[in-house]
Every structure is written in structure tokens, then in C-alpha cells.
Structure 1
Amino acid sequence: MFFKSPSPSTSRTATPSSSPPHRHTFSESLIEENILIAQSIITKWDVHSSVHACNIDSLFSAANNRQEAKQFIKSVNDLQSAMHYFVSHHSGSQKLVQAQNLMQTAMKRLEKEFYQMLKANRDYLDAESMSVSNHSSMALSSRASRASLSDMEEDSEDEFRSTDDLVSENMERPSVSMIAMADLKSIADCMISSGYGKECVRIYKISRKSIVDEAIYHLGVEKLSFSLIQKMDWEAVEIKIKHWLHAVKFAVKTLFYGERILCDYVFSVSDSIRESCFTEICKEGAMTLFGFPENVAKCKKTPEKMFRTLDLYEAVSDLWPEIESIFGFESTSDVRSQALNSLIRLGDAVRTMLTDFESAIQKDTSKTPIPGGGVHPLTRYVMNYLTFLADYSGSLTDIIADSPLPTNSPLPETYYASPKKDDDLSSPVSMRIAWLILVLLCKLDGRAELYKDVALSYLFFANNLQYIVTKVRTSNLSLLLGEDWVAKHDTKVRQYAANYERFGWSKVFASLPDNPAVAAEMPIEQVRNGFRLFNLSFEDAYKKQSSWVVLDPKLRDEIKISLARKIVPVYREFYELNRNSVVRSEPGSQNLVRYAPDDLGNYLSDLFYGAAAGGSVSGSVSSNSTPSHSSRGSHYGRSH
């Protein structure tokens, strides 16, 4: 129907030895027509031609409404089909040579477009843009990866349209980065399917690696060897750590993540290519990034380095799921191994520093008693350290989960039960914190022996244990040690305070009559001796304790109230029953009755502020006067 039969005259002139002329099939006609159409558009965009103005433009520019790009990609795929046909059926055809030449011209154009697109969209294909639009791009990548190479060869225009449609579906006004990604993918698919994948990949690797390397540099990540870090002052290393902590989160969650998204999408047609590209682009920077913590962990370990070491551990640990996912390729296993080695080294360093910290407490050699029985510097240091340590309880749980407490410690347990016997402390971190506090308390036990006055040693214990309990109660330590631990040690504080009262005020308590009402029947001389004995014992206790201190306001008030309740009511009754009889019995004997009941409360309220607040008891205070040097807490003079 489409081709006529040869005429009879033609048939008669033919000789038996001549070959019959080649007859074009319908398929060949369509293929030759496609080659002509391809020639028209490909030569128009020939990079070596200086005739067409489009040579300086982009095939994928918005000015061309992307139609030219679609036609160009379709033409390349048609050329490829034509070449397959001629290779199979007419390998010597000039049409095959023509198609091959056109293919080379087309690849030169696409190679140039690919490079220009990567360069022109550098600011739109940055890591942050990739991360922000990750949902859309991941959807694009997912759909693209489901499309086989043969599908794209059969209908490149449909693939181009599906990409555009998907961009529109995911973003009402598609971003520049999404459009650029779609164009890069269409070029990569076309070049790879045409056998020019190496050229495409080479351009991509060079372009994107320079961007990643530059980002790593601007994040302040340096390739620092262990020997170099070891020679640096700790202050300088700390600065490096701060920069690294800022950099690692951005690098993993934004830089490497964004690069993985872009690689996976642009080269979704080939798993091996996308792995190769991502590995070459990101592996070097990632190895430098994750090698830093390991080198820090290998340096000399001292307790003051604990918290920065834990910061490094937490950063890598928190990012581990992303690291494992982003660098999940076999070719990036070294990156995962490096990050894991850093975690292991950092964990080892933390365990070593915990042991050294305990040893440092036990080896404290301070022998000077703290003035007034106040809080020991070791107590402050240890509890502040443990307070900060409690903020890292999650990481510490991982690190010391399999690290048992010491079993051969020589620590005494005179006042405290071992935390190993405390069922309330179930987690390894809780046990270790409780153990370190026990080490501290046992050390304080030795420091209490430096005081010659037993009452002051008990006050010292009350002050320090109160400081410990307060630190626990007002920090994350309370979550680790629990309410029972706090309540138990709070009770011990009150016990030490009671022991302080018993030893510190025993002579004052003994100077008061057991039954003031019976004392009214005493001989006058015995009453006078009663006042004399009280005056001497009270003045002696006040004078001795005027420089003693109770730093916690609540505990200070509790001790004052307790003393006032034990002294003032008994003295008040004795005073009211016997004061007048003493004054009447002998002129000038009013000097024996030096303190009114309310005066005692005023003097007691003046205690426990340290040497600066302490004063001397005046021996000339009349029975009708109130000490002028202090009126703080006069309510302690009342019975409660």
C-alpha cells in the first residue's frame, strides 16, 4: 500500500548478477524521520556552532519554557533507538554513522548543560535547601527509582512530564532547587542511558565535592592529628570542641543529609553510581569530622575534661541513627566505623575519668579545719561536679552500664550504708553517684576529726550534709537518687544538728532546774548559785559559738528555734519565780539576774552567721533592758 512494485521495464533491464535494491520498511522510514528531527534540534544546540544565538543560553532555561529541553531529551532517546536498530540490522549504514555523530554532539551539549546547571544553581542546591525540601525530593527520588531505564528510553517525554507534575504536586510554587534537581536528573538519566555516564558523574563529583569541602572548612572542622591535639593547651582544645559541636549537627543533619538526598535523586537510575558519587563527595569530610572526637579521647584524661568529653559522646550518640542511615553504603562503612570508634574511645575516657575523680576525692590532703564548721571546699567541688554529671545521665547509663562499683574499697561505713545495699538505686548511674557521695562523706568524716570541739564537728557534718542534700534536691540528682535517698539523708542532717545541740549546750541545759516550780522552795543562796551557773554556762556557750556558722537558712532557723524551745521556757519560769526574791535579798544582787527571757532569744538569733556577725555577751545587761546590738529573730525568745 505504501510502497509501489517495480515497473516491468525496470525488471527486464536487470541482470541476474545485480543485487536487488534495498527496500525501506515502515519502521526504517520512521527511524530516518526521527533522525532528521533529532538532527534539526541537536545541531541547533551544537556547542561548537557559533551561528545560533542559543549557544550562549541554557537549553533548560525558563525562557524556552522547557519545551526545547523535552524535545532535545526525546531526540536523544530516539537517536539511541535508531542506533540500536541499525547495529542489529544494517551495521554498515551511513545512517548509523550520522546517528553516532549526532549523539556525540548531543552529549557535548548535555555535558555543558549539566555543568552549567550545577554551577548556576550552587546557591539553590546547598545543603539547607536540600534538607528543607527533603520530603518532596525524597518523594521524587522514590518515584524516579521505580522507573526503569527501559521505561525512560521508551517514553522520555512522559518521564519529563511526571517529574514536572510531581514537583507541582509537592510544592504549590516549586522552588528553584526542586526544578534544578528535576533537570539534573533528566540529564543524568539521558546521559547514563546513552552510555555517557562517566562524563556526567565526573562533572558531578568535581562540582559537589568542592561545595562539601568548602562547607566543612567554613564550619571550622580541621584535620587535627592526635599528636597535634595532645600538644595543645586544654583551653585551646575546648575551643576546638565547641566549634566541632556546632559543626557536627549541621554537617550530619544538613550537609551530608542534603547531599545524600541530591545524589539519591539525581542518580536514582543507578544504585552503583549514586553510591559512588556520594562516597567520593562526602567520605573524606566525614572521616575528618568523626576522627576528631577519637583523637580528643586519646589525650591525657583529667576530671575537668569530663564534661566536654561527654558533650562529644552525646553529639555522636544522638546523631548515630542519622550517621548509620546516611552513610549506609558498603563503600562508606569506614565512616560508620570511625564514628563508632569515637564513641568507644570517648566512653573509655569517661570511665577512666570517673575512676580518677573518685581517687582524687580519696586522696584529698587538706588538713586545715574550716572556720566555724562551714561547708568544706571539697564538698562544694564534688557536689557541683556531680550536679553537672547528672545532666548527662542518659549518656552515662550507656557508658557505665557494665562497669561495676568497686568491691574492695577500704571506705568505712560508720555513718552510712553502702549504696550497693540500697534497693532504691537501681540504675548504674544512680549507684555510681550514690557511691561517689559516700566516698565524699567518708572523707568528711576524717575532716571532722580535726575539730577539738565535738559539738563543732557535728555542726560541720550537719552543714556539709545539708549542702549535699540541697544540691541533690535542687538538681537532676534528685531524679537519680530518689525521694527516699533525700529523706534518709535529710534525717541524718537533723540527727547531726541534735547531736550538736546536746554537746554544745549540755552545760546550759544542766544549769537549768529540772523543775522550776520546785526551785521556788530553794534556799536563796542556792537560787543565787542557779543564776550564777546559768550566766556562766550561757556566756561560755555563746562566746565559743559566736564564730560558728550554719549556712543553710532553713537549718539555721531550725537549730535556733530548737535551742530556744529547750532553754527559754524553763529559764522564763525559773526567772519569774525567783527574780524578785534574789533582788530583795541583797542590794546589788540584780547583777546576778543578767538576762530577761526575751534577751536569750535575741542572743540566740545572733548565732551561726560566722565571726563577722558574732558579738560578746554583755555582763551588765539589766533585767529590764534588751541587748541593743541585735534584734534579729527576737521571736526565738518566746516559747512555741
Structure 2
Amino acid sequence: MRSIFFKSPSPTRMTPPPSPLHHTFSESLMEENIEVADFIITKWETDVASLFSDREEARQYLVSIKGLQKAMQFLVLHHSNSERLVRAQKLMQTAMKRLEKEFYLILKSNRAYLDPESVSAHSSSRPSVSKSIFSDFEEEEFENESTDENDSISEVERVSFAAMADLRAIAEAMISAGYAKECIKIYKIIRKSIVDEALYHLGVERGLTFQQVQKMEWEVLEVKIKTWLSAVKMAVKTLFHGERILCDQVFSISSPLRESCFTEISKEGALALFGFPENVANCKKTPEKMFRVLDLYEAVSDLWTDIESIFSFESTSAVRSTAVNSLIKLGDAVRTLLTDFETAIQKDSSKTTVPGGGVHPLARYVMNYIAFLSDYSGILSDIFADWPFTIPSALPESYFGSPDNEESISSPISVRIAWLVLVMLCKLDSKAVMYKDAALSYLFLANNLQYVIGKVRQSNLNFLLGDDWVIKHEQKVKQYAANYERIGWSKVLASLPENPTAEISKDQVNNHFRRFNSAFEEAYMKQCSWVVPDPKLRDHIKISLARRIVPIYNEFYEIYGGVEAKKELWVESLVRYTPDDLGNYWSDLFYGSRTSGSVSSSSSRGGRSH
């Protein structure tokens, strides 16, 4: 033996071919592999128990297949016509049928542990099964890994990871032996049925065409949109994400097979899922659809990173394209809807006036709509990022702003929102003209602008438009209120003397009291049906009226209408109101609860508190 293995070849001769003894040694090793495989594979050929229920038996079975495969490779190279090769091939076929059965059983029996939700949840604590439990076929290594898993993860996770590792080991064995087709066929059938069933339970409808969506009543379509919105996050982050993880783990040995399996399992369902928003976006556009369209856009946009990662294969590019097209179409729909909304405001031609100069329905509708829009400011900024808005040159600076407060309205969506508010306020200006009484016109404008400011303060509009915008428009409200006071109570003020303490004749006193009584009663009877819904504005106007009228009247009253003056009968008959009476009457104003009529005397009415 020493002379055979350690004798140096002669430098003058070529190296001789391997000795017959070397061939005999290799052949004996291959023969031993075949014998071991024959014993183990035959043993399990008729056994109805699950091979993988016994971890040691499963390990030995896969080790024997690996040895058998090496033997077959040797025989193909050196003894391609050998009967031992035929025997080894038959053993391999038997082993593959067994593994095919085991693969099916593991997929079916561990369905609860291999559902996408479980796989997705467990992946956060253990992102991947880094190594097949049979990759090195070392018993000690397998035992150590199992012990570590039991210590660190739950029972459910342990079963899930073990099942994935078993499937991966079987897939590696079958693919290496040339039985990939049989393996992936089983996998695709079982896993696709699970994905399709999950999508069905989530409410994702297959084959829903654009024509069908277009013909739906809005109430029906809105229900379907709500169902889709509640389903899409679960579908992407759990269902498809979990399926991708499982595919990557089971077929880690082959990138093409990973791609093929995942694509066939998920592509059809994903296309149905992401095609729905595009169909909605292409439907007839009406203002009430705006917020559902924004919800759809937000959902797809928020999930885009996950979509791009999960469907990263070239064969799933159609899924990515469908999701992108949905975003494009939804964005187009939002831009169209917002333009149509502005046009609808400008074209509003209602001629009716609000009783008492209260808040107009247009202001309520538009501000509620815009307030809801402000909740989507981030999404709207994304949608309008590449669509700059040009402010019309005829824009009234007093409404919109000035270079001093440019920073408060700087973002593109803030500019658009401010413009919509301006369009509505201009329309309200035209409606104020419909009131025949100028004082009521100004009260109408004050009421509606105050309502607008209130909506801004109570919503995200406050952050979009800024404090400068609010302050400027609050000053405008005060201007409207001052105009109302000036016009609505000008006759009352004019009835009083410029210098109430100056000495005047009885005829002049008589004239002033009569004019005051007439002017006050006329103003009161006209305005007792007018309204100021906002409590702060109502108090502001009342206080302002009192400061303008009461001090003058009080001084005049003290001199010519007081206790001493009333001793003269002609004076007593002319003085109908004390200064306190004026406040009592004003307390009834701006609630719209009284109808026009005579003003009762101060002796027969008391003050009313609110």
C-alpha cells in the first residue's frame, strides 16, 4: 500500500492513469451510498406515518438522498450503462414521490401556522430562516438550533419556523434532484388557493370591470370603496408580504423559482386589488366623491414602499404599474374635482336671501368642504406638487394677503385653499347686494365672514392659512360690523344733540325726544328679526352700539328727562325710554326670535338677559 500511494512518479515518464484499486475504492463508497439509501427509502415507501414527524428519521432520509445523488453523478460519469445506475434512479424516483407527499402534507397540516398573517408577524422577530435545518446534515448543529429556538420564541412561532425549514429542505432536495416542477406545482396550487380565499374574505372582488363600476349608484360604490380601504392594508402588509416571505424561504435555493411561484400565486389577486382605485378614478366625477378619491390615493401612496418591495420581481412589474397608474388617475381626478368645485362656486346663481342676514348655505357648504380638504393637506400637496397655481392678477390683496404675510400662505396647497375661500367670499359679496337694506347687507357680510373665520380656527385650515390671515379677516369683520352700526343706527344718533349738556329751548328738547323715539323704534322694529349667530360677534356689536349711543342719550336724559324734568307733564309724555331701557331692548336683538311690531313702553317691559 505504501508503494502505491507514496511512490513518486518518474520524472522521465508521464503520470500513469488511476489504478484499478482507486476505482474500486470510489465505487465501494458509491455502492455504500446506494445501499444506505435503499434501506432508508424502502423502509418509508409503504409507511403511512409522516416522515417529518420524526426529526431524526427525516434528517437521515434527506442525508441518504444526498448520498444517492452523489452516487448517481459518479455512475453517470464512469458507468453510464451500469445496472446500479438504473437501481439508483428508481430509488430516487421513489424518494421524490415520498418527498412530494411530505411537501403536500406539511403545507396542508401547517396551514394555520403558515398563513400569511402568522408569517408576517413572526418575521419581525425573526426576519428569515437563515439556514435550512438540514443544510449541513449535522445532527449536533440541528439539535443546538432547535434548543435555541425553543428558548427564544413561542410555540406557534416554533412550529411555523420548523414547517418553513422542512419545506425548504424538501424543496432543496427535489430541486437538486431535478424534480422542481413537481415541487412547485404543489406549492402553487395550495398557496394560491389560500391567497385567493383570503382576498375573498377581505372583500376584494375579481373581474370587476370599469363599466360595472361606472354604472353603480354612488351609495353602492361608496360601500365598496370602504370595504377596499379596510382590506388593502391587510392585503399588502400581511397577505402578500407574508406570502413573499414564505416563498423566499422555501425556494431560497433558486431565484427564478422564487419569482415564478410568488408571481403565479399573487399576481392575479394583486392586479384586481390595485385595479379597483383606477376604475373609481375614471368614473364620473362629482364633488361628494372627492374625499373617497383622496382616501384611495392616500391608501395606495402610504403602501407604495411595501408594494415596490413585495412585488419587486420583473414578472410582477404589472402590479407595480397598476398601483402607479391608480395613483396617477386618482391624482388627476382630485385635480379635476377641485377645479370643478371652484367653478361650481363661481357659477352659483341662487337668488334667495337668508332671513335676518344669517350664514348663507353656500358659506356652510364650501367651508365644510374646505375644512375636510385641509385634513388631506399632505396628500393634496403631493398631488399638486407638479401643478403650480398662478394667482390671477386681479386678486384682491385685502382678502388674500400681502408681501408682509407671504410666509403664512407659502405652500402650494395653502395658496389654493386661500383662493377657494376668496372665490366664495367674492360670491357672498354679490349676494349681499340682494338685501335692500344696506345695514342688513353689512350684517350679512359680517356674519358670513365670522363663520368662515370660525371654521378656519376650528380646523387644519388654521395651520394652512396662518394667524396673519385670520387677523386680517377679523379686522374685516369689524369693518363690516361698524358699517352696519353706522348705517343701521345713523338716524338714532342724528336725533340726539351734538352737545347733550348744552342749554336748549323746550321746543328743541321736544324735537330731540320725538326724533329719538321715532328713530329708535323704527330701527328696533326693523332689526328685531335680524340675526347674529356668533355669540362673540353679537356681544361685540351690542357693546359697540351701547358705547356710541348710551353715553350721549344718558347725558341728555339726565338733564331733560330726569326726575326733576318729568315734573313737567309735557316732558313726561315725551320721555319713553330710560338709558337702562335701551340695553334691555338691545338684549333682544340678533336672535331672530321677534317679529316686527310696536315697541312697548319702558314701564310695561323688563330687561331680558341672555
Tell me whether the two structures share a fold, i.e. TM-score over 0.5: yes
Give the match's secondary structure for 1:516: coil
Distance change (3 Å), C-alpha of 1:221 and 1:60 = same
Alpha-carbon spacing, 1:96–1:160, altered in 2? closer, same or farther (3 Å): farther
Query: In the alignment, what sits opposite 1:17?
Result: none
2:484 aligned with 1:500, yes or no? Answer: yes
Q: What corresponds to 1:11 in structure 2?
A: none
Aligned equivalent of 1:30: 29
| Aligned AA (1:539) | E
Contact 1:256 1:326 in 2 (8 A): yes
Residue 196, structure 1, aligned to residue 179, structure 2:
yes
The aligned amino acid for 2:185 is R
Aligned residue for 2:129, secondary structure, equals helix
Superposed, 1:456-605 pairs within 5 Å as: 456-518=440-502, 521-579=503-561, 580=563, 582-585=565-568, 587=569, 589-605=571-587
Q: CA deviation at 1:90?
A: 2.5
Partner Cα separation in structure 1 for residue 309 and residue 356 of structure 2:
60
Structure 1 420/57 Cα, relative in aligned 2: closer, same or farther at 3 Å? farther
Structure 1 portions without partners, runs of 5+: 3-19, 50-54, 634-640
The equivalent of 2:14 in structure 1 is none
Give 1:68's aligned residue. Answer: 57
TM-superposed CA distance for 1:583, in Å, is 2.2
Distance 1:264 1:163 in 2: 20
How many Å separate the matches in 2 of 1:346 and 1:166?
A: 50
- The Cα shift of 1:22 comes to 7.9
Q: Considering only aligned residues, what root-mean-square deviation do their CA atoms show, in Å?
A: 2.5
2:40 aligns with 41
- Cα–Cα, structure 1 residues 466 and 343, in superposed 2: closer, same or farther, change >3 Å? same
Distance 1:137 1:262 in 2: 13
Cα deviation per residue 1:180-221 (whole Å; 9 max; x = unaligned)?
111111111111112111111111011101111111111111
Deviation at 1:440, TM superposition (A): 0.3
| Equivalence for 2:74 | 85
* Within-5 A mapping of 1:105-120: 105-120=94-109
1:621 maps onto 2:610 in alignment: no
Q: Is the 8 A contact 2:577 2:601 kept in 1?
A: no
Instruction: Show the counterpart of 1:103.
Output: 92
The 2-side partners of 1:335 and 1:431 are apart by 35
- SS of 1:416's equivalent? helix
How do 1:155-554 residues align onto structure 2 when only pairs under 5 Å count?
Answer: 155=137, 164=146, 167-168=149-150, 171=153, 173=155, 174-222=157-205, 223-405=207-389, 413=396, 416-417=399-400, 423-424=406-407, 425-518=409-502, 521-554=503-536
Distance 1:121 1:593, change over 3 A: same
Output the CA distance in 1 between the equivalents of 2:358 and 2:97: 83
Alpha carbons of 1:37 and 1:457: their partners in 2 closer, same or farther (altered >3 Å)?
A: same
Secondary structure at 2:441 match in 1: helix
Taking the aligned partners of 1:419 and 1:576, their CA distance within structure 2 comes to 49
What is aligned with 1:637?
A: none
Deviations 1:427-485 (A, max 9, x none): 11100000000100110111010011111100000000000000001001111111111
CA, structure 1 residues 514+544, in 2 after alignment: closer, same or farther (shift >3 Å)?
same
Report the alpha carbon displacement of residue 553 of structure 1 after superposing the two structures with TM.
0.8
Aligned-partner Cα distance in 1 for 2:31–2:324: 59
* Cα shift at 1:268: 0.8
- Offset of 1:607 from its aligned partner? 0.3
Distance 1:405 1:276, change over 3 A: same
Q: CA deviation at 1:32?
A: 2.1
Change in Cα spacing, 1:621 to 1:523, as seen in structure 2 (3 Å) is same
Deviation digits for residues 68-89 of structure 1 (CA, Å, limit 9, x no counterpart): 1111111111111111122222
2:459 and 2:379 mapped to 1: Cα distance?
A: 17
TM-aligned CA distance change 1:90 to 1:169, over 3 Å: farther
Aligned to 2:123: 134
Match of 1:122 among 111, 122, 125: 111
C-alpha contact 2:129 2:161 (8 A) present in aligned 1: no
Give the AA of the match of 2:514: R
TM-score scaled by length of structure 2: 0.92
Give, in whole Å, the separation in 2 of the partners of 1:156 and 1:100.
26
State the distance in 2 between where 1:130 and 1:525 align. Answer: 100
From the superposition, tell whether residues 172 and 372 of structure 1 become closer, same or farther in structure 2 (CA, over 3 Å).
closer
What code does the residue aligned with 1:284 have? E
Aligned partners of 2:367 and 2:455 also within 8 Å: yes
Q: Distance in 2 between matches of 1:394 and 1:163?
A: 48
Cα 1:317–1:406 change in 2 (3 A) is: same
The separation in 2 between residues aligned to 1:105 and 1:239, in whole angstroms, is 54
In terms of mean alpha carbon deviation, does 466-475 or 210-219 score higher? Answer: 210-219
Q: Which amino acid aligns with 1:98?
A: R
Moved more, 87-96 or 496-505: 87-96
Cα distance change of structure 1 residues 231 and 159 upon mapping to structure 2, 3 Å threshold = farther
**Cα distance in 1 between the residues matched to 2:103 and 2:189:** 12
Structure 1 residue 516, shift from structure 2 partner: 2.1
Report the CA distance between 1:325 and its aligned residue: 0.4
Distance change >3 Å, CA 139–CA 313, structure 1 → 2: same
Structure 2 CA distance for aligned equivalents of residues 327 and 166 of structure 1: 33
Mapped pair 1:56 → 2:56: no
Percent identity reads: 63
Contact 1:70 1:160 in 2 (8 A): no
CA distance in 1 between partners of 2:152 and 2:169 (Å): 18
Task: Tell me, yes or no, if the aligned pair for 1:591 and 1:620 is still in contact at 8 Å.
Answer: no
CA distance in 2 between partners of 1:137 and 1:282 (Å): 23
Alignment check: 8 A CA contact 2:405 2:468 kept? no
CA distance in 1: counterparts of 2:64 and 2:390, whole angstroms: 77
Any gaps of 5 or more consecutive residues in structure 2? 3-18
TM-score (norm 1): 0.88
| Counterparts of 2:303 and 2:31, CA distance in 1 | 57
Structure 1, residues 243-277: CA drift from partner, whole Å, max 9, x if none?
11111111001000000000011111111111111
Q: Deviations over 1:108-150 (max 9, x none)?
A: 1000000011111112211110111013552314x56xx9xxx
Displacement after TM superposition at 1:581 (Å): 5.0
Question: Residues 407, 596 of structure 1: CA spacing in aligned structure 2 closer, same or farther, 3 A cutoff?
Answer: closer
